[in-house]
Chain A
Amino acid sequence: MSCSMSRDQGRAARFIEGELPEEEHEAFERHFLECPECLALMQALAELPAVLSEPRPVVVPARRWRPIGLAAFAAVAASLVLWLGIRTPDNTTVLRGAPQAVVELLPLPAPLEGIPSLTWAPIPAANRYRVDVFSEDGRTVWTREVDHPPALWPTDVPRVVGLYRWRIEALAAGTVIARSPLGQIEIAR
């Protein structure tokens, strides 16, 4: 264990991050092709995506769900819209200086046969909507495209107890023309 480069953790981290200048990046590649110590470090770090993708311990599946803090969220969102926004003829809100319109999230409706659903105000120009649901730590839990609201929680995605964030993107000819702020939903025991 004598390679000084393998102890230069900053360089190795910047290499993995893709932050080294190309010349330095290639020099490090040439180095670890022949340096067993640095190669071992790179082989391990190359497993980061695989390890980070591993499922984390699963909590008990949900039996029912309820939206939380929606009133507060809606109030803040409405204030922001009033403060920043102007209404366009198609009833979408355009933020000053922002390139895209905003999809308005609507209060979560009662579950259909126990299945949570998400709903939002349709945008006339949109012909599809992409629904993204994220875990609290920002990882994608599920993504679906639908023609119109509402979107039901997919039956093949376990309803694990916890807080989730959700977002709607309105699409026209495959292009995102409007996006919602993040909403919040809780799957409760």
Chain B
Amino acid sequence: VSTLPGDAADSVQPAAAATLPERVRLGETAAEAELVTAFRPGLVVMLYLRTRDRGLAEELAHDVLLAVLEALRAGKLREAERLGGFVHGIARNLMNNHFRRQSAAPRLEPLDAHLERLPTPPAEERELQERRAVVRRAIEELEGQDRSVLSLTLVEGLKPGEIATRLGVSPEAVRMRKSRALRRVTERVGALLRTPARGPLKDGGRRA
């Protein structure tokens, strides 16, 4: 059994990851914690981008990690190099199951819909605010209508045809502006994240 130096996030390095499934199978509690720390942020963002629901993404990520740990404890994965794909596969299955259940059952309002969310831990909150500051800077550099198109697409979930009606331009112009705006924001955010001064967030919110 090998141990991982430094932050748990380092466990995604190939040499260290090679031992993780086996360590979990052997019942090493620290290995379970490392796995959760390594994969949770990625799972949350992946599931959020799929579901557009932060609470649901957190919930599903929790379920995925439980299912992964259960499978690893039962020795269902021996090849450590397949761990990422294994986690992704379970995430995709649980998400698909969720959507199937949701479409089959009548839509119910979540019980906690009107309750305040639990406060985010200070460190996570700080990272979130730093991320938003980066995105804010990137957005500030967009032309007004590009920003509007992005907002109507990502916030209001409108299709190009509907946006075109609202803004009085052609759907093709909306598509072009949307792609251009996203490309520019992505480039700018990427550049800002690569700036050395950014520190804590340059590696996915994990400490380097």
Contact = CB atoms under 8 A, between A and B. Distances in A.
Interface residues of B, number: 57
A2 B41 CA distance: 20
Contacts of B43: 33
B186 A138 contact: no
B88 A29 contact: yes
Contacts of A40: 193, 201-205
B117 interface: no
A34 B135 CA distance: 22
Counting chain A residues whose Cβ lies within 8 A of the other chain, the interface size class is 35 or more
B168 interface: yes
Contact of A9 (B42, B131, B132, B190): B190
Interface stretch (A47-55, A65-73, A107-115): A47-55
Nearest to A135: B148
Given A17-B178, A139-B156, A44 B193 contact: yes
Nearest to B87: A33
A112 to B, nearest CB: 27
B148 A47 contact: no
Given A34-B84, A43-B41, A9 B183 contact: yes
Interface of B: 9, 12, 17, 39, 41-43, 45-46, 48-49, 52, 84-85, 87-88, 92, 128, 131-132, 134-136, 139, 144-145, 147-152, 154-156, 163, 165-168, 178-179, 182-183, 185-187, 189-190, 193-194, 201-206
Interface of A: 1, 6-7, 9-10, 12-17, 19, 26, 29-30, 32-37, 39-54, 134, 137-140, 165, 182
